[in-house]
Amino acid sequence: MKLLTRRTLIKNTILGAAASVIAIPLQAKTTTPHEMEGPFYPITPQKDQDADLTKVKGLSGVAKGEIIEVFGQVLDQDSNPIEDVTIDLWQANSFGKYHHPHDTSTAPVDENFQAWAIIQSGQQGKYRFKTIIPGAYPLGSTQQRTPHIHFKIGKNGYISLLTQMYFPGQPLNTQDGLFKRKSSKEQAMMTARRIGESNQYQYDIVIERL
Ligand SMILES: [Fe+2]
């Protein structure tokens, strides 16, 4: 075996250390996967767009369905929280009906369900809203969309994101045409995390700087 001189040994050690520093990959987060907008982005003007979708201003009733809270953080790819991000979200009611003139299904409208909200991320990029688990709805004559919430996320200086959030444990997830097209990693990123057996769901969103 060739004996290394002290100088070669020191040199190799320094080069090795430098190489190992260079080899460490930057752990950039993957951005939240994109999904299509769908046909039911709200088009009917609506005054009440606050973070409580279970009540409509001026009405005394409460939306039908299982009430939940969705919360999370908007982050960039380096895990920095992003404040003042506009989060535009809409969903079907608990019967699987969109409050949209082009939804021709016979499922009932729920007048006490707000259906659409535009909120902003606050300190530390955090956001929270109260809603109900959306119903599944038919797609054509043979398919069903699994429960989901649509999101449109935007802030100057960042690439805007259209996506859909899914719920864990929904039996229709495995049959949903859009969900099935995603890789398992993408599916995981698009599925909220239920906190224990509670009505709280965490959904962090990662967007990319322009
Ligand atoms: Fe939808």
Q: How confident is the model at residue 6 (pLDDT cuts 50, 70, 90)?
A: low
Distance 165 CA to ligand 1 centre (A): 10
Cα(75) to centroid(ligand 1), Å: 24
Q: Which residue has the higher pLDDT, 128 or 17?
A: 128
Give the Cα separation of 55 and 62 in Å (integer): 5
Question: What pLDDT, on a 0 to 100 scale, did the predictor assign at position 210?
Answer: 94
Neighbours of 83 (CB within 10 A): 14
Interval 58-72 mean pLDDT: 98
* Residue 2 token pair: 């060739």
Q: What is the pLDDT of residue 141?
A: 84
**Residues 151-184: b if buried by 16+ CB within 10 A, e if exposed:** bbbebeebebbbbbbbbeebebbeebebbeebee
Q: If you average pLDDT over residues 189-203, what whole number do you get? A: 98
Provide the whole-model pTM: 0.87
Range scoring the smallest mean pLDDT among 7-16, 22-31, 130-139 = 7-16
pLDDT reading at 128 higher than 60 = yes
161 forms bridges with which residues in the sheet? Answer: 153
Name the maximum alpha-carbon separation found in the chain: 87
7 CA to centre of ligand 1 in angstroms: 67
Identify which has the larger pLDDT, 23 or 209. 209
Q: For residue 114, with 0-12 CB atoms within 10 Å meaning exposed, 13-18 middle and 19 or more buried, which class applies? A: buried
Measure 206 CA to ligand 1 centroid, in angstroms.
21
- Give the separation between CA 121 and CA 115, rounded to whole angstroms: 19
172 and 147 in contact (C-beta within 8 Å)? yes
Cα 65 to ligand 1 centre (Å): 17
Query: Could you tell me the distance, in angstroms and rounded to a whole number, from the CA of residue 15 to the centre of ligand 1?
Result: 55
Instruction: Say yes or no to pLDDT of 170 above 90.
Output: yes
| pLDDT given at position 1 | 42
Percent of the chain with pLDDT over 70: 87
Report the separation in Å between the CA atom of 198 and the middle of ligand 1, taken as the mean of its atom positions.
24
Query: What is the distance in angstroms between the CA of the first residue and the CA of the last residue of the chain?
Result: 54
Question: What tokens were used for 8?
Answer: 């070669």
The mean predicted confidence, pLDDT, of the chain is 91
Whole-number Å distance, alpha carbon 84 to ligand 1 midpoint, is 25
Distance 40 CA to ligand 1 centre (A): 7
Tell me which residues have their CB within 5 A of the ion that is ligand 1. 38
Compute the average pLDDT of residues 61-82. 97
pLDDT of amino acid 23:
53
Distance 145 CA to ligand 1 centre (A): 7
Q: What is the mean pLDDT of residues 155-169?
A: 98
Edge-to-edge strand ranges of the sheet holding 86-90: 116-120, 86-90, 148-154, 161-166
Q: What's the CA-to-centroid distance between 21 and ligand 1, angstroms? A: 46
